[in-house]
Amino acid sequence: MYLRKKWVRTKTRDITGVLFLSDYQDVVPFDSDYEVYGGKLEFPQHGFGFNPNRGTIVFFPSGPHFINLISPVLAGELYLARVQIAAKKPYLYDPTKFPGNFKNWFQDQF
């Protein structure tokens, strides 16, 4: 939480995972049983996100460097599972160990 102009750890979570159980679809025909329009997992600080892809899990550090949101669902139902992992020794994200930006981190994807 952001308290008194400072990020403070309030819960024991080190890694978060989002498992998509729906597929992103933006063309017709549209099967609302398992397809969704919208529902992108976004990381606004880093300027990238992931559209739902059934069976895909995205793991990221649980902390202020990876504030995230799910964009509005415009059609269908978004199904996902969010997993919170606590380590025996707290994971402290060090941005200096990950230079560059998402284009460097996922160069095979973009």
Instruction: Answer yes or no: is 21 within a domain.
Output: yes
Q: What is the pLDDT of residue 105?
A: 79
Query: How far is it, in rounded angstroms, from Cα 29 to Cα 57?
Result: 26
- Domain of residue 82, residue span: 13-87
Low-confidence ranges of the chain (pLDDT < 70): 1, 9-11, 109-110
Instruction: Answer yes or no: is 98 within a domain.
Output: no
Number of domains in the chain: 1
Q: How far is CA 21 from the centre of its chain?
A: 14
Query: How far is it, in rounded angstroms, from Cα 31 to Cα 76?
Result: 8
Instruction: Answer yes or no: is 101 within a domain.
Output: no
Ramachandran sector of residue 55 (left: φ over 0; alpha: ψ -120 to 50; beta: rest): left
